[in-house]
Structure formats: structure tokens, C-alpha cells
Amino acid sequence: MTPMSGIKEFNLPDLGEGLTEGEILTWLVKVGDTIELNQPIVEVETAKAAVEIPAKWGGVVTRIFHEAGTVCEVGKPIIAIDTDPTGSSSRSEKAGADSPSEKAGAEEAGAGLIGGPAPGGRTAVLVGYGPRTTSAKRRPRAGTATAPVATPAPAPAPEPVAPVVTGPVLAKPPVRKLARDLGVDLTTVGGTGPMGSVTREDVHRAAAPGVPASGPEVFEAGPREQRVPVKGVRKLTAENMVASAFTAPHVTEFLTVDVTRSMKALAKLKVRPEFAGTKISPLLMVAKAVLLAAARHPMVNSTWAGDAIVVKEYVNLGIAAATERGLIVPNIKDAGRLGLRELAEALNTLVTVAKSGKTQPSDMTGGTLSITNVGVFGIDTGTPILPPGESAILAFGAIRPTPWVFKGRIRIRQVTTLGLSFDHRIIDGELGSRFLRDIGAFLEDPEVAILSWT
């Protein structure tokens, strides 16, 4: 049945490079609501972040295709909007395919594309926002072919599924990076994910034929048990951690540090007029210590690229953040160029946005060096797993009053334990030890370190 001419279906757009699906978190409108152009209508969670999607037409909501809590593929309709509820354009639609209104409608099909004009004179900035200039097509699943819709005929005998070896490959950015790290050509991998996309398991199978990427048993929930679906941010985090743990050889070293002088320096900063209104915490001192130590040991801020090591001249400092949807590691771009007050403000913004669930995908990509603050949970330290593509991550433990030998006498001092995990392909024991030692030296006496290192 052909829908009424004024009703348009809005498909789930691609909210980030290579993403193939999203979970409907919350509808911000309901059937019967009158909405405006660019009004936020739904909140969707992808494997990277939760984002609000704006309406690309004004009108009346006539149908919602997916309830909150369901997962929808990119390109599938999520909402229908009657853009002409009064029927004022019905006569012009009856004039035929060559009528001026249809020509205008054809021109409108080009609006809303990235970098081009959007309705209302705006410029479209959301990936996938606006209708396409060509008829919508979905990427065929691996081993299948597309054909025009015709009268149903008897199905041919099944043929072996062959890998997709030509044309563009549908895969998430972390999967593409994993393939590069493992030396796998994605064009030779048959995708088993949604819409024929290549998954991490596909890459692992291609890298080690005959060896299963993972073999977990499937457990159904029994009495007094709850089955929690793994999806969105939590699913991507799990994939990243498995890939990192079994790709990069991890080494972890520990250092217990007297941070009494850092805490005194922090107290001095809090009463400085330039820090008025800015929340500062011990994490600020640790972040500064990591940045200065990385400047002294550039190799720790690098990526393993198979046949080369890529050393970064900038530090995108990642801060692990626990959210309701799982662990994320947003990063502060070019953090090494920030002054102490700017760094404090950036840390505050990062944490606040992460807790609100509004961290953007761009803020969670490109990290080069990370910190996980397990001390906020009362934990002394840990052995953190590297975020994919990074060579070092520091665990910052709880600061506790502790008996400590200071100037030859036992005193109560503020003490913490640091845990540094690093990729042993890039960082050997000496370099890792020197890097960790310098972080500790800064925290033991930050004023002297700043004066002598910069």
C-alpha cells in the first residue's frame, strides 16, 4: 500500500563511520505530536555514544516504528512524519510526474547531504542526515547478490558462501584498526555482522584460520538469575578489551609514592584567584605528571603499526570514565599544550559530559595515552588493559594517610600506589620504569619538577 504523499519516513542515519546499528534509548516525541524542523526527536545509542537525532522535516508524527529499548539497523525507518497534514499540496501531486511540485521535490532530495544545503537554509552536519540523491540500497550480506523485486520463483539450490573480495568493505573503525594491526586484508574477509559488515571475530578468524576467535558457552538465565544483553558501549568495550589483551603483550609495574607535597600544592592552587570557580582534584596533578613525563619519554606516546612504530608529537590524554552504559575513555585533545587551569577545566568538562551520557564519538577516538582513576572507588591500584592503539595506561590508586619514613623518621604521610601497564613490543622494562619513576618524582615534589623539567 502506497503511503499518503505527505507522509515521509525518516531512516536511522549513519551516526559515525562504519556504524551499522543503534539502540533506541528514548523517544522525545509521540504519535500525534506536531514537530518542527531540526527538533530533537529521539536519543539513540551506538557502539560509541548516545546522541540525539533531529527531525529533518516539520509536521505531525504519524508512526513510530521501534519502541525504546530495541535495536535498529542503519537505513531502516524509525519514524513517519506527515509534512502536509492539511492536505494543501494534494492537488499539485495529482498533476503528474512532470509537475513543478514534483520537480521541486526532486531538487529537495539533494538537500540535507553533508556539506550541502538543508531545509530551512541550514547546512547538514549529522552524518547521513537528509535524503539521498539515489535510491536507497542496503549492502548485500556476504555471499548474496541484489536483484530487482520480481514474482517469487522457486529458490535455487544453495551455493557456498564466498568472501566479499571487491568493492568497499563495511566495518567499524576499531575493526579496521584491528585488521591493520593483525595484517588482515579486509577485502578478503567475509562479513558475518549486520548488513554483511566485518566483525572482530571475522578478523581474528582470518588472522588465525582454524582457530575460533572465542568459544563461550551460551547460558540461558535460570531461576533467580538475570540475563543482561551485551550491546552498545558495553559491547564495544568488551570487544576492545579482548582484542587489546590478546594482541598487545602487557607488562604492569607498580610504584608507591608519597604525594604529601602534591596535596599541599593542590591546596595552594584552590585559593589562587585564577582557579576561582574551577574544581580541581588530585587527578589534575597526576594528569600533569603524565604529560610532563611523556614529553621526557616520547616513545611511550606511540602506536604499534605492524612494520613500524608511530610516535605521536601530541598527547590526546584519555581518562577512563564509568557510566551507566559502561566504561568509556574520552580524551582531551592535545592536552600537552594546555596550561594547568585549562587542563583542570578540560578534565571537569570531560567527566561531567561522560556522566551525562552525552560524550560524542569524536571525543572517544584518537586517544594516545590514558589514565584510569581507580582511587575514587577506594582501590589501591590495578593492572589496567591498554585501550586499543595505545602503548601505556596509568592506574591511579587511592591516597591514604600512611606511616612513612620521611627524613629519617616515621611520619604519617599521604601515600598512593601507581600501576603502569604498557605494550612490551614498544616499551621495554627500562623505558617503562623511567617513565613511571618520573611520574612518581613529579608527584613527590611537583614544584621542583616543574622548575627543573620545563
Give me the amino acid identity at 160. Answer: P
Residue 319's beta-bridge partner residues?
Answer: 371
Residue 302's beta-bridge partner residues?
Answer: 311
297 carries an active-site annotation: no
> DSSP letter at 274?
G
Task: From the candidates 66, 250, 297, 424, give the one annotated as an active-site residue.
Answer: 424
Calpha distance 14→132 (Å, rounded): 12
Alpha helices of 33-172 — where are they, by DSSP H?
90-93, 100-108
Instruction: Name which of 298, 306, 309 is nearest 336 in CA terms.
Output: 298
Residue 65: CB atoms within 10 A of its CB come to: 16
Give me the amino acid identity at 198. Answer: V
Given CA atoms 124, 127, 131, 132 in this order, what sign does their dihedral have? positive
Residue 155: CB atoms within 10 A of its CB come to: 6
Instruction: Name which of 241, 296, 268, 308 is nearest 453 in CA terms.
Output: 296
3-state secondary structure of 415: strand
Q: Cite the active site residues.
A: 424
